[in-house]
Amino acid sequence: MAEKNPGDLEMARDFLRRASAQLDLDPALISELTPHLLGLTKRVAHGVVRPAAPLAAFLVGYAAAQAGSGQAGALSTPDAIAQALVAIAGIDDVVEEADGQA
């Protein structure tokens, strides 16, 4: 197993800050959801199959965008954050079902 580089998390945070700025996203929102999304992608990668992990994260973002009705800045509303967390929990249920079938 490869050793984890202690600087990886800081490099990831820096990347997310720059990507958020490029996409005109609220960095506080990204920071708040990052641990939840990392946990989700880990559970999907290990409980279902690795290629499904980034796609599950996309689905959560898509669900949050729909909750915001596509309005500019709507993804930073408490309702959209709550919707993203609900979507994460829903995908966790699907992971458990898939893991139980394996």
Angstrom distance (rounded) from CA 63 to CA 88: 10
pTM (2 d.p.): 0.73
| Residues 4/12, Cβ–Cβ less than 8 Å | no
**Two structure tokens written together for 32:** 């708040």
Domain ranges of the chain: 8-101
Closest CA to 26 of 17, 35, 34: 17
pLDDT(97) > 90: no
| pLDDT, tens digit, 9 for 90 and up, residues 41-96 | 999 999 999 999 999 998 888 877 777 665 555 555 677 677 777 888 888 888 88
